[in-house]
Structure 1
Amino acid sequence: MSHPEPEAEPVEVSRTVVENAAVVTLSDTFEGTVVIEDDRITRVERGQASTATGDRVVDAAGKLLLPGLIDVHGDDIERHRFPRGSPIDEDIAFRTVDRANLAAGVTTKFHAIAFQDAPDDHRSAEIAIQMVDSIQKAEHLLADHHVHARCELTNPDCVDAVEGILDRPAVGLASVMAHIPGKGQFESPEQFKRWYLDNRDISEQRVDELIAQRTSVDQATLNDRIATIVERADSAGVALASHDDETPLEVERLHDRGITISEYPVTLAAAERATELGMTTAMGAPNLVRGGSQWGNLGSAEAIDAGVVDVLCADYHPPSLLAAPFVETGEPLHERVARVTVNPAEAVGLSERGRIEPGARADLLVVDREPTPSVDRAFIAGREVYREGPP
């Protein structure tokens, strides 16, 4: 059995040539060669014949060359940090999630950290701040790690905590959400209660307290809290998303407040309105790979068929982000790949990533399609950081 290995240190390679690959660009897929010098792509050539030479030559015959995947919403760190509800050392958790994401092709990761009042689920403002601190201090990580701060608007402590961390260098995205029973993914208080009792180690009394607390917050208060986060995010240069949008009117109001990303709209009407307004619409990759929403809400495949999906997110399962472009949707491969590379990059202001063209940052994947999509090699800023099997 082969084992993934980070490249041994120290290895200094200033020029890498990847040849004989099926290169996936913004507009096409073709057999060709890509040259990396230092941290940049310097040449992209079509055809088998190439005169390019380098310190390292990678023969990618029979394989695809993709941009590194960009995950703008992945909460898988929570399961590494609290497996089965028990805390694990932060260094172990982050090194593990780092390697697991690289194996899934994720070279730029936005950890979706929940600022949410659910301590029984290991989610609180205090835990979230600790996670942000850990991401900023983490050493010896191979992928590029950022924070997506998810702000639960029904709790003022969470709003205050998010407002206080938006200017930290690791924070590149924030989203506003209101997990109110009877709204969004939970159609009724009964559904909210049943889901928590069935899926979380939580008492019925505690669930009743959550329902009472969240349903007590009126819309005017939510609007004031959204305005606070929007103003603070704008001044910090942080991209903003909404979460679980349900109606076109809700989307319009959030758009008018300056929010540019509609994340996981739960109805087709909401997703269509977001697209009409020029917002970036993000859906879950596991939803697409699995074939539907686990909540019975809008399916990613249905939304793609309607032409209203720009971005796919790993959500809780990074391997689905790599598998998603290979789910047949009737579109060419480069359009499917764009949803997990260039589109999320542009949505969060990382314009030099997610593309294979001269001048772009050299975040690249050599991918074997069979028997299932898997990463053979991964490069971040021109450095080979992951390899499956022997050299």
Structure 2
Amino acid sequence: MSSTEQTSEESVAVISGRVVTPERVIEGGVRIEGDRIVDVGSVDGDADTVIEADGRLVIPGLIDLHGDDIERHLHPRSGARIALPMALASADRANISAGITTKFHAISFERDDEADRSPELAATLTDAIVGADDLLADHRLHARCEVTQKQCVDAVLDVVANGDPDLVSVMSHVPGKGQFQDVEAFKQYYENANDHTVAEAEEMIEQRTDISMATLRERVDRVVEAAHDAGAVTASHDDEDPAEVERLADSGVDITEYPITLETAERAADVGMTTAMGAPNLVRGESQWGNLSTADAIEAGVVDTLVADYHPPSLLAAAFIDTGEPLPKRVRRVTANPADAAGINDRGCIEAGARADLLLVNREPTPTVARALVAGRPVYRAEREDR
């Protein structure tokens, strides 16, 4: 048993905090027995472990449905690969320190050697994530399928057949579609961001545009059907057209990630899809690609969840961006709402019976995590002691 583990009989009391419940903020604390919350409100210090909140906010642990930051832990520079156990451990600690207690690693099944992506590496990462049993957070797999590449579709179908992913998304990075609204935008991204030569970028354009829409849709339908048969939630990526998002919903896609236009996000809401937008987009105040801003989508009332995308600290920061909404609603976008979207309804809120994933948060000068508990276990502390 590690120093952070506790038996089912052990109790924890978090006292003297400002607790963010699903509907309001209350003065008080949280009592935990084993891995579950048993009481919220007037909690005394009669417990095996007592944590003094000192007036800090107490919020649920964050749930990130789409974070690809593991790639930078594995390859801090292009071509420079770190050992997988070290990469996973550093990603785990980085996410815990950012307040993320349930992490869906968005592993890209895409053939792009210059960007250190391949279906073989994705399968290796899948095995490591699924097999990890010594990490602090709850780590899960979000398999991202590049449907323009048949070998990647086949690779995703293999991991789905194994029952590995909890979330499967379909994407088609095609010039003139999605985040790349024109061929030049596609070429510029792959030349600059992924260190491709002009010739390599042009070859990718030729390969990815030489596939019919009927073929792409058939692959999408096959992946979505297999994922649902395996009990996984499904998502689509960078949807740009209201009619297309309606077709995806009819095919059974549950979540739209980063819709390109407000009209698309509104149609997704109309047909009952969950809409996920990027937290970095909200924190930065704009889309990196000039697409729909998260702030505008929130103002229109069409954002259900936020995701960390490439920057885990933005997920916590996003809950404290003033959108004109009460704090509990903003917190739900990074806790209860993603839990509901992923079908893991035992967490994401502070109420009796919920899994005890909790954060003690300092709001100033920027939102940071002072303490974190996962399934009732204190796993992280970053408090300066006065001497």
TM-score by length of 1: 0.95
Identify which of 48, 55, 58 aligns with 1:65. Answer: 58
Partner of 2:219: 225
User: Per-residue CA shift, 1:150-183, capped at 9, x if unaligned?
Assistant: 0001000000110110144541001011110001
Aligned partners of 1:149 and 1:173 also within 8 Å: yes
Structure 2 residue runs of 5 or longer lacking an equivalent are none
SS of the equivalent of 1:135 reads helix
Q: Does 1:90 align with 2:60?
A: no
Question: Where do 1:1-391 residues align within 5 Å?
Answer: 8=3, 14-45=10-41, 50-51=43-44, 53-85=46-78, 86-389=80-383
Q: Distance in 1 between matches of 2:124 and 2:211?
A: 27
One-letter code aligned to 1:8? S
Q: Distance in 2 between matches of 1:148 and 1:317?
A: 16
Following TM superposition, the consecutive aligned residue runs of length 4 or more in structure 1 with deviations greater than 3 angstroms are 7-13, 167-170
Q: Distance in 1 between matches of 2:23 and 2:376?
A: 22
Aligned partners of 2:26 and 2:41 also within 8 Å: no
One-letter code aligned to 2:24? D
SS of the equivalent of 1:181 reads coil
SS of the equivalent of 1:379 reads strand
User: How much has 1:367 moved relative to structure 2?
Assistant: 0.8
SS of the equivalent of 2:315 reads helix
User: Per-residue CA shift, 1:101-136, capped at 9, x if unaligned?
Assistant: 000000000000001121110111111111101112
Compared CA separation, residues 203 and 347, structure 1 to 2 (3 A): same
Aligned partners of 1:91 and 1:138 also within 8 Å: no
- Total equivalences in the alignment: 382
Q: Distance in 2 between matches of 1:17 and 1:170?
A: 35
One-letter code aligned to 1:93? A
Compared CA separation, residues 364 and 168, structure 1 to 2 (3 A): farther
Aligned partners of 2:171 and 2:238 also within 8 Å: yes
SS of the equivalent of 2:92 reads helix
Residue identity (%): 54
User: How much has 1:389 moved relative to structure 2?
Assistant: 3.3
Structure 1 residue runs of 5 or longer lacking an equivalent are 1-6
Q: Distance in 2 between matches of 1:390 and 1:269?
A: 47
User: How much has 1:361 moved relative to structure 2?
Assistant: 0.5
One-letter code aligned to 1:36? I
Aligned partners of 2:15 and 2:44 also within 8 Å: no
TM-score by length of 2: 0.96
Aligned partners of 2:178 and 2:240 also within 8 Å: yes
Between stretches 78-87 and 8-17, larger displacement belongs to: 8-17
Compared CA separation, residues 194 and 132, structure 1 to 2 (3 A): same
Q: Distance in 2 between matches of 1:111 and 1:350?
A: 16
Q: Distance in 2 between matches of 1:123 and 1:224?
A: 24
Q: Distance in 1 between matches of 2:370 and 2:338?
A: 23
CA RMSD of aligned residues (A): 1.4
Aligned partners of 1:135 and 1:170 also within 8 Å: no
One-letter code aligned to 1:267? T
SS of the equivalent of 1:271 reads helix
User: How much has 1:326 moved relative to structure 2?
Assistant: 0.4
User: How much has 1:11 moved relative to structure 2?
Assistant: 5.8
SS of the equivalent of 1:84 reads coil
Q: Distance in 1 between matches of 2:328 and 2:384?
A: 29
